[in-house]
Amino acid sequence: NAGVTQTPKFQVLKTGQSMTLQCAQDMNHNSMYWYRQDPGMGLRLIYYSASEGTTDKGEVPNGYNVSRLNKREFSLRLESAAPSQTSVYFCASRDRKYGYTFGSGTRLTVV
Amino acid sequence: DQQVKQNSPSLSVQEGRISILNCDYTNSMFDYFLWYKKYPAEGPTFLISISSIKDKNEDGRFTVFLNKSAKHLSLHIVPSQPGDSAVYFCAASPLGTGTASKLTFGTGTRLQVTL
């Protein structure tokens, strides 16, 4: 029972490089989310997907794109990484009744 | 505009004593509140929740209290144990928005339980 799996766990990018953070859940949840965690800022919502085929912006979407490939997978793409995107990124999924199940996070450093 | 606030960035409590973590919110549309616990290098994990129709919810050593008029909730841990040392996030959501209900998180409180 893996829950929510994120890859990679760590990544260092140069400014301007692109990359995709992968997320998959095996709980048959409809809703999936991407958050970033920064010191003193808590967790802030980047994008979410209420169901397969739909995506919506959250609180801090600028500089990111997402794809809900199927019910299981929800990826986050940085097209041109900036130092301000240095953060820890968490993917989560949600069932109808309870709160979120989070992945273990991706620690991204942009230099 | 921080809609969910945890004004204490850190808290240190002796083992066996009570830990009280506080959270304030500003959005009157929030109807469902949760606490998450986070260890280093791990994702947050669900701890306990409460809906606005209640003012208290208890689960073992953990109790959450909700004061809707004050827009305040608190998490009590009794007795505190060293394994409780972690960052605790308060989160809130409006009910009735379907399965896409988005959680708004506070900034977190780092709890350290000392021996």
**What is the arithmetic mean of pLDDT over A2-21?**
95
CB contact under 8 A, B41 and A42: no
In which band, very low, low, confident or very high, does the pLDDT at A98 lie, cut at 50, 70 and 90? low
Q: How far is A14 from chain B (nearest CA, A)?
A: 23
Q: Say if B43 is an interface residue toward chain A (CB within 8 Å).
A: yes
- The string of pLDDT tens digits covering residues A45-92 is 999 998 898 999 999 999 999 999 899 999 999 999 999 999 999 999
CB contact under 8 A, B105 and A90: no
* Best residue of B42, B103, B110 to probe chain A, by most A CBs closer than 10 Å: B103
> What's the rounded Cα separation, in Å, for the pair B89 and B62?
14
pLDDT reading at A95 higher than 80 = no
pLDDT reading at A12 higher than 80 = yes
Q: Say if A105 is an interface residue toward chain B (CB within 8 Å).
A: yes
Q: Which of A33, A60, A35 is nearest to A49 (CA)?
A: A33
pLDDT reading at A33 higher than 50 = yes
Question: A23 exposed, middle or buried (CB, 10 Å; 0-12, 13-18, 19+)?
Answer: buried
- The string of pLDDT tens digits covering residues B16-72 is 999 999 999 999 989 889 999 999 989 999 999 998 999 999 999 999 999 999 999
Please tell me the predicted confidence (pLDDT) of residue A1: 59
